[in-house]
Structure 1
């Protein structure tokens, strides 16, 4: 199977870390563009909403002491 290209996919942990890193980079870019912190309320749409929901969950995890030290 190793001879076949593309059959292996990243592990769940690798995929999650990659997605988390992408969200963080998007948040940094969003803030660097002069935007305020993104909101997660229902009346907000698009990138602001997506980042706001992600940030909301990150803050909740931080409050519960769940994220790894590298994410803090």
Structure 2
């Protein structure tokens, strides 16, 4: 892990097109601004983990063609 020290308004570059800017420091909290292309997805870690878990669960619950056809039949 790379550890850097930055002051308010200073930034860190990741590659050529992602910039992390220290917006504010208030006690134990640091506000970070992220400048990145729109196609770069940015999530808080807990949200990212939740998305991964949901994707794994969805992949494990694959329906067979018979199960899918039950959902497609019109009620009589």
Taking structure 1 as the reference length, the TM-score comes to: 0.33
* Structure ID, larger Rg: 2
Higher relative contact order (CA 8 A, sep 6+): 1
| TM-score, normalised relative to structure 2 | 0.31
Larger % of helix: which? 1
